[in-house]
Amino acid sequence: MIIVMKKGADKEQLAEVKKQIRELGYKPHVIHGETRNVIGAVGDERGKSVLQAMESLPGVESVVPILKPYKLASREVKPEPSTVDLGGGVTVGGGQLVVMAGPCSVESEAQILETAHAVKAAGATVLRGGAFKPRTSPYSFQGMEEDGLKLLALAREATGLPIVTEVVNPRDVDLVARYADIMQVGARNIQNFALLKMLGQLDKPILLKRGMASTIQEFLMSAEYILAEGNRRVLLCERGIRTFETATRNTLDISAVPVLKEQTHLPIIIDPSHATGHASLVPSMCYAGVAAGCDGLIVEVHPCPEKAASDGPQSLRPAEFAAMMAKLREFAKVAGKEL
């Protein structure tokens, strides 16, 4: 249920509604809209009829049931798109097309600094890099862990770019949060609910990747876990789903972008690198994602892909990334975005 406040309702009226919601056994979540505020009442759906009586409270315009299983992520709660401050003057969800770029894995100081300077020069506004790497094979490179986080922080200091990196295990949340500006949840962890709940208690942006076999509804329900804990700074990332096709690593679900835009107010990011698995296909999928209406891209870039510790075949060289960014600016203009 959501409680829609009247235009001009004051802080005291808002506080009283929140108090009443808590007394009824629900958790209030205030969502500030452009013209009025709404309060989501999250809790046991079976007793939601008791909330209807709140229409009589001062400052309340109406009490509206939310039909979607995901409540706080729904456009029924917040019709206008959300924007998320990523740090460093970067905001996603508005008129800016945000490009996150960097290596799959942090490998050395020289590698991450070279890449960070290159992607910034090309126009990227966020540096990506993996310090903890969940790999299909236990024999594959698992990441530099805290040493990798320290190198990412060094690159941020050198370039001013905010950093996004993945947290794999709930026990590492505090460690990663000390270094990262944006916390990433990988596809394999989309239903690690203990992890999602912990991230929901942080005041940091969360980049949530869609699982390779997750439906749109399951994707949004995972986002709901984070939102329900109080963290509103959630970004959704379409990174490809598993289909029968073997020509690409995964199948980029471009249709997910307009579908999500209809159903949720959360910003949408596209990951063409993991979706295709081939560097030659990445630019085309970036252009397609922007045309479909995404708010940002996350792209793998490595100074020497053939020597990369992980995902070399899908990584662009810095010169290739710069060429793509030059062309991407034209697509962004057509889509009404600035790059």
Helix 193-200 to helix 216-228 angle (10° resolution) is 50
198 & 329 share domain:
yes
Average pLDDT score over residue span 217-231: 96
- By CB atoms closer than 10 A (0-12, 13-18, 19+), residue 225 is buried
* Structural domain containing residue 57: 2-64
The pLDDT of residue 77 is: 87
Looking at the fold, whether 239 and 287 belong to one and the same domain comes out as yes
Task: Give the span between the Cα atoms of 247 and 154, in whole angstroms.
Answer: 38
- The candidate with the shortest Cα–Cα distance to 42, out of 22, 14, 12, 16, is 22
pTM score, whole prediction: 0.90
Residue 330 lies in a domain: yes
Is residue 47 pLDDT above 70, yes or no?
no
Token pair for 288: 């397609």
Q: Reduced to 3 states, what is the DSSP secondary structure of residue 93?
A: coil
The pLDDT tens digits for 296-334 are 999 999 999 999 888 889 999 999 999 999 999 999 999
In a domain, 76, yes or no: no
**DSSP for residue 293:** T
The verdict on residue 70 lying in a domain is no
* Residue 134 confidence (pLDDT): 73
Structurally, how many domains does the chain consist of?
2
Same domain, yes or no, for 49 and 135? no
- The answer, yes or no, to whether residue 141 has pLDDT greater than 80, is no
Q: Are 170 and 152 in contact (CB under 8 A)?
A: no
307/215 Cα distance (integer angstroms) = 35
Together in a domain, 235 and 123: yes
Q: Give domain status of residue 73, yes or no.
A: no
Query: 64, 96, 113: which is the final residue of a domain?
Result: 64
Which pair of tokens denotes residue 152? Answer: 């990412």
Which of 12, 30, 64 represents a domain boundary (last residue)?
A: 64
Are 129 and 240 contained in the same domain? yes
Mean pLDDT of the chain: 93
Provide the CATH number for the domain around residue 170.
3.20.20.70
List CB contacts of 36: < 8 A, sequence separation 6 or more: 4, 5, 6, 7, 9, 61
